[in-house]
Structure 1
């Protein structure tokens, strides 16, 4: 007993030793100082057009990988980016390695004329020369330089004053200019300059503006060939509204705005990268840099897939094509060697799937109403729980609802309807969902579509496919009057032929009376429904019949090209099930 108490105390001491979060984190962490912009305009704006997109998967994304891409993988990725529709691609850091230099040359030599190739380079002369050499011959080449401008980086990392930082940035811009747009031998290429005040989101806004003004003056952009100022949240340090204020302040106050492209580049340290970019676009941003599915250092760059499809679902064309999202995922996962999370927006394997019963029921009803609207010429997509039509990104409706022990009546019914066209009556949906739940619970996993169809067939003996000891060899109806129908027939039970006859107010009741007479029992209809199955020349009928017998009930399902025969098949389905369960006997 004493030993057990000692162990409990030891565990408690150990738990407390690792409980390091502060009750008052303000003694250790400071709130980022927000800019005072009381007349901000971005909250009242909407995104009504696509920005200029730049993919940095091959540079910023690639440098974050434990195992960087090979040249062949980068080539495959590059061509997928072109296929999606990217017109600006940051391909490498060509001064970093021969591999990056060689791939840059490949990109230059294989890019379409309307695509700009961008490369990043540090502010060092020999590295800039190497980068320009790599970009020579590109239709449009963007030389991207950067300098950390936040107080933290200047003071701690570079030991550089604001004035020294401006001097360095201007010196770099002038040197790049001398090697590119001022070199008369390189005028076959349109040379564009991009400068990033690194850690812009943690930089005093007046200083970010001041250093960019100095760089602009050194480069001398034009309306036809503007300079790009990339405003990165290199490390996300504040909420998205703070970043939006910083962007709006910059856009308002930078001179010669018509000669400036304001580019946004957000990382995702606080999980707000997408929101920050969206608000930054409202604040005046023109261009977005990021990676497909958000790869990048630490928590990643902003997810371009999410941004683009967010626009799409609001009726704005992103001018990027994600029609075959799975092929994009395949290339991204192969190159990055990192799987896309199952719950990643739009791209995750589970994002269009519903397991919850209430979700499934809402989606099933939503599709019924959607089909009605489409039939009346209304193509609007208004679907519970599904903001995007899965077909728009190449996914099937069959993946929308998946069934496990948590699923309700709508889930299994949806699967059945999509797989074999049977629209189960509501009461049958409820009963069958319990069968499905019990099966899924016993297996400890979700059930696949073919397993659900098989379970339905077994449980309700569709067309007597499972239990068929009784066969109706021949039969004939005789309509005696408007209220009376007689039936005569021959059944085979385990090879023995038996004559049957019965009377009722219609085909169903008369045939059930005949079977009741043959088996000395009473069979009563509790519920009956039918619907068309398929369309055109292949249309069939499906019949659903619930019969009570000896205080027991049994559903049966029958199908046939003839409505009458589908009804007969549903009756045979029931009788065969009752025989197999010994509820009736010969």
Structure 2
């Protein structure tokens, strides 16, 4: 039984999702959770993209103890140098070099011949090997590259010193049968006197990312690359949690296993959902809210008699405690701390007093507090805002003309409480208008969604918003959590405006993606 490595690119390719902008603090927190989950290697970012990206990769590299850290680099020496400077202090540093190889990319993006691209690969993989013991190479848009030329490309990278060869389905074009054949062909024909590990990197444009990834594993891939919850550009990347659980459930077929600690899956998924501001669909495989629900009477009857009749994945496998004891307002500090530890949630001793106070406040409003409530309480309020201001409180007044007045209390950069008033046709509009006044910047609300953390009328509310910075056309996602849906709305909108403010201050740089490439 061979063990397949897992490379997570949530912090690089996942951040290419429109509206997703992780802060450095959030990236380090996610990286630590990924290490706890058992990820083999983290693609921490694109160090050459901006000073902010460089610093994030550097801090992640310093924080990891067992997980390798990789940085992405175009086939440009300055990119490779940036990777080296950001990752040189990592315990297990890696560099990921790429260039596009398909006919359409050669002609329209790179404007280079096949021979020129082979020369670029040889030069830059060789250069990367002078700085890194482990170099990964990717031929971008590999699945639309001529197979015989793809072999030349990969052989050139291997001869230049690449250890990992990643085959990306950049635009989600391929099918499982085609993709499996590509891996079989390359593994059979690439020549090397050392072990070469092949890996897929699949996008989900045609809904086949998981199937394609598993086909590559069946064909001999030794590492998979993807993101948590499948976030990423367009339709996203392959969801790593789906691949890991598929290997676990169908180990008999794939004859391969993952290194992931599966009962950390839900914690990892919810953390990424929270920081990305992207809700997990109820029908999402493995981690969706309905993954272990049964509506049909026939299904319910079967599950009661034997869960295996309709459940191939147990809730416990991915970290859902099916019969966990809920807490209530009479629960003490010790029980609260033990519950946090049971759920595997990270916390600092210095935070306990504040967390317990929040718990007691919530317990006064809810008769029964579930694991989901605790998870949301502990991890749902640490969204980073620019230092020096925060949302404090709000009040709503209904007017005789049918309008609503919102009074928003904010703490400004000097630590002073500032109250801002604004009217609106409804409560949420009035709240958002008041927050717009506070920030004094122009944003456009793109989407506004409310979801309940748990079932019931007393559920905590998680609000997710997307806003556009009108000056730059950049989209930002943010979330807010509170027992009061209006306060959750305010928190989410404040967090979104905070990201816009950071961009306007130059603290958030342009997202350099794998599609941005110098033509010189």
TM class by shorter chain equals 0.5 to 0.7
Give the equivalent residue in structure 1 for 2:47: 94
In 2, the alpha carbon distance for the partners of 1:96 and 1:167 equals 24
Give the equivalent residue in structure 1 for 2:92: 140
Of the three residues 97, 108, 114, the one matched with 1:162 is 114
1:324–1:196 CA distance, 2 compared to 1 (3 A):
closer
1:270–1:177 CA distance, 2 compared to 1 (3 A):
same
Checking the alignment, whether the CA contact within 8 Å between 1:313 and 1:387 is kept in structure 2 is: yes
In 1, the alpha carbon distance for the partners of 2:202 and 2:159 equals 26
1:174 matches 2:114: no
1:212 matches 2:165: no
1:335-414 equivalences under 5 Å are 335-367=275-307, 383-397=308-322
1:324 CA drift (Å): 4.1
Give the equivalent residue in structure 2 for 1:120: 72
1:317 CA drift (Å): 4.7
1:79-478 equivalences under 5 Å are 79-112=32-65, 114-178=66-130, 180-181=131-132, 191-219=133-161, 227-256=163-192, 258-315=194-251, 317-367=257-307, 383-397=308-322
In 2, the alpha carbon distance for the partners of 1:317 and 1:340 equals 25
Give the secondary structure class of the aligned counterpart of 2:157.
Answer: helix
1:257–1:348 CA distance, 2 compared to 1 (3 A):
farther
Give the equivalent residue in structure 1 for 2:30: 77
1:395 CA drift (Å): 2.4
1:102-125, CA deviations, whole angstroms, 9 ceiling, x for partnerless residues? 11111221211x321100011222
Checking the alignment, whether the CA contact within 8 Å between 1:251 and 1:257 is kept in structure 2 is: no
Give the secondary structure class of the aligned counterpart of 2:263.
Answer: coil
1:317–1:287 CA distance, 2 compared to 1 (3 A):
closer
1:58–1:257 CA distance, 2 compared to 1 (3 A):
farther
Q: Which runs of 5+ in 1 are unaligned?
A: 1-47, 182-190, 222-226, 368-382, 400-446, 451-586
Give the equivalent residue in structure 2 for 1:55: 8
1:328-351, CA deviations, whole angstroms, 9 ceiling, x for partnerless residues? 232111221101111111100111
Higher relative contact order, chain-length normalized (CA < 8 Å, sep 6+): 2
Checking the alignment, whether the CA contact within 8 Å between 1:65 and 1:336 is kept in structure 2 is: no
In 2, the alpha carbon distance for the partners of 1:449 and 1:99 equals 41
1:126 CA drift (Å): 2.1
Give the secondary structure class of the aligned counterpart of 1:345.
Answer: coil
1:317–1:205 CA distance, 2 compared to 1 (3 A):
closer
In 2, the alpha carbon distance for the partners of 1:345 and 1:204 equals 34
Checking the alignment, whether the CA contact within 8 Å between 1:265 and 1:289 is kept in structure 2 is: yes
In 2, the alpha carbon distance for the partners of 1:449 and 1:106 equals 41
Alignment: residue pair count: 325
Give the secondary structure class of the aligned counterpart of 1:58.
Answer: coil
1:108-147, CA deviations, whole angstroms, 9 ceiling, x for partnerless residues? 21211x3211000112222222221111122221111111
In 2, the alpha carbon distance for the partners of 1:67 and 1:239 equals 28
1:60–1:449 CA distance, 2 compared to 1 (3 A):
closer
In 2, the alpha carbon distance for the partners of 1:318 and 1:212 equals 25
Give the secondary structure class of the aligned counterpart of 2:122.
Answer: helix
1:396 CA drift (Å): 4.4
1:214 CA drift (Å): 1.7
In 2, the alpha carbon distance for the partners of 1:448 and 1:109 equals 40
Give the secondary structure class of the aligned counterpart of 1:142.
Answer: strand
* Structure 1 length-normalised TM: 0.53
In 2, the alpha carbon distance for the partners of 1:448 and 1:165 equals 56
In 1, the alpha carbon distance for the partners of 2:271 and 2:173 equals 32
In 1, the alpha carbon distance for the partners of 2:31 and 2:321 equals 27
Give the secondary structure class of the aligned counterpart of 1:68.
Answer: coil
1:174 CA drift (Å): 2.4
Checking the alignment, whether the CA contact within 8 Å between 2:27 and 2:60 is kept in structure 1 is: no
1:108–1:324 CA distance, 2 compared to 1 (3 A):
closer
1:267 CA drift (Å): 0.8
1:171 CA drift (Å): 1.5
1:124–1:349 CA distance, 2 compared to 1 (3 A):
same
Q: Which runs of 5+ in 2 are unaligned?
A: 325-453, 458-520
Checking the alignment, whether the CA contact within 8 Å between 2:46 and 2:53 is kept in structure 1 is: yes
Give the secondary structure class of the aligned counterpart of 1:344.
Answer: coil
Task: State the superposition RMSD in angstroms.
Answer: 2.3
Checking the alignment, whether the CA contact within 8 Å between 1:306 and 1:345 is kept in structure 2 is: yes
In 2, the alpha carbon distance for the partners of 1:130 and 1:311 equals 36
1:193 CA drift (Å): 0.8
In 1, the alpha carbon distance for the partners of 2:19 and 2:68 equals 28
1:352 CA drift (Å): 0.4
In 2, the alpha carbon distance for the partners of 1:68 and 1:448 equals 29
Give the secondary structure class of the aligned counterpart of 1:57.
Answer: coil
